[in-house]
Every structure is written in C-alpha cells, then in structure tokens.
C-alpha cells in the first residue's frame, strides 16, 4: 500500500514527493474499501514557500487553502484527490479521524454517511463539539 501511494504522489509531482514527510490514505475508499475517489493525504516539510504555490501539471487545484483559513490544499485528477498539509498535528488528526470511522465500520459494522463522517473529522480535526452538528 505504501509503495502504491508513494508512486501516485511521485507521478503527480516529483517536487511534492521530495518534500513529502508522510503519505496516507484517508476518505471513504480507505474507510470502507471502496468509494467514488481515492483521497491521498500528504504531509509536506517546509517547501520554502506556500503550499498553494506547488505546481502539479495536469492536476486541478481544489480551492481549499491556508489563505482562506484551511490548514490544507487539494488537487484533483480524475478520481484521485491529493490533500496536502504542512501541519503535522493536523495530518495526525486527519489520520485519527479516518481510523475512528474505519474502526466503527470494521468492529461495529457502522457505515457513516458523508455528513456524519464530516462531523467526526471536524470534531477530531477542528476542535468542534457535537453541538455544532444536528443531532
């Protein structure tokens, strides 16, 4: 799995691969073993500039950006999403949120719909509380 993810990132951009400290799989494909797309989370070391300035030829910039208050940027090509952050704590929280969702699925058979997965991620990653979501 690790080699596959590294190869996908390397194909997207050699620059991105060279600065990648960690690469992980998140999202519904990871959680449930299938989905509409593949979400690859990349933790970058300091690139010496803004992560928004990364050049990923043939990839569409997704719009999430630290300049708008997000802690990550995204690029899309076909069914692959690259989710890039320079924040180690945020990367770890994202992986933890995905693991919580996967645990609920594997251990309890709980299939969270997308709004519930977003809520779990927001609670873990963005310090939201469950009162922020309709119960």
Where does the pLDDT of residue 135 fall: very low under 50, low under 70, confident under 90, or very high at 90 and above?
low
128 has a pLDDT exceeding 90: yes
pLDDT tens column, 17-54? 778 889 999 999 999 999 899 999 999 887 656 777 77
Residues 13, 15: Cα–Cα separation, whole Å: 5
Torsion angles phi and psi, residue 84, rounded to 5: -120, 130
Interatomic CA distance for residues 87 and 72, integer angstroms: 8
Higher pLDDT, 71 or 55: 71
Furthest CA-CA distance within the chain: 44
For helices 88-108 and 114-125, angle between their N-to-C axes, nearest 10 degrees: 140
Of 58, 47, 55, give the one whose Cα is nearest residue 86.
47
Strand order in the sheet with 20-26: 20-26, 38-44, 80-85, 73-77, 60-61
Residue extents of the structural domains in the chain: 2-132
User: CA of 86: how far to CAs of 11, 30, 72, 73, 77, in Å?
Assistant: 20, 22, 7, 10, 21
Closest CA to 97 of 24, 46, 37: 24
Distance in angstroms (rounded) separating the CA atoms of residues 7 and 105: 28
pLDDT value for 47: 60
Quick one: fold of 2-132? Beta Polymerase; domain 2 (3.30.460)
């Amino acid at each position: 799995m690790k080699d596959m993810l590294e190869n996908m990132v390397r194909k997207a951009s050699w620059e991105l691969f060279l600065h990648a400290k960690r690469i992980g799989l998140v999202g519904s494909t990871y959680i449930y073993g299938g989905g509409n797309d593949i979400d690859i989370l990349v933790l970058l070391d300091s690139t010496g500039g803004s992560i928004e300035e990364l050049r990923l030829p043939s990839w569409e910039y997704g719009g999430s950006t630290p300049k708008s208050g997000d802690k990550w940027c995204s690029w899309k090509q076909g069914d692959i999403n690259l989710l890039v952050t320079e924040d180690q704590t945020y990367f770890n929280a994202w992986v933890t949120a995905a693991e919580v969702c996967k645990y609920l699925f594997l251990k309890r058979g709980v299939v969270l719909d997308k709004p519930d997965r977003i809520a779990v991620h927001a609670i873990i990653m963005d310090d939201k509380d469950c009162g922020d979501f309709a119960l």
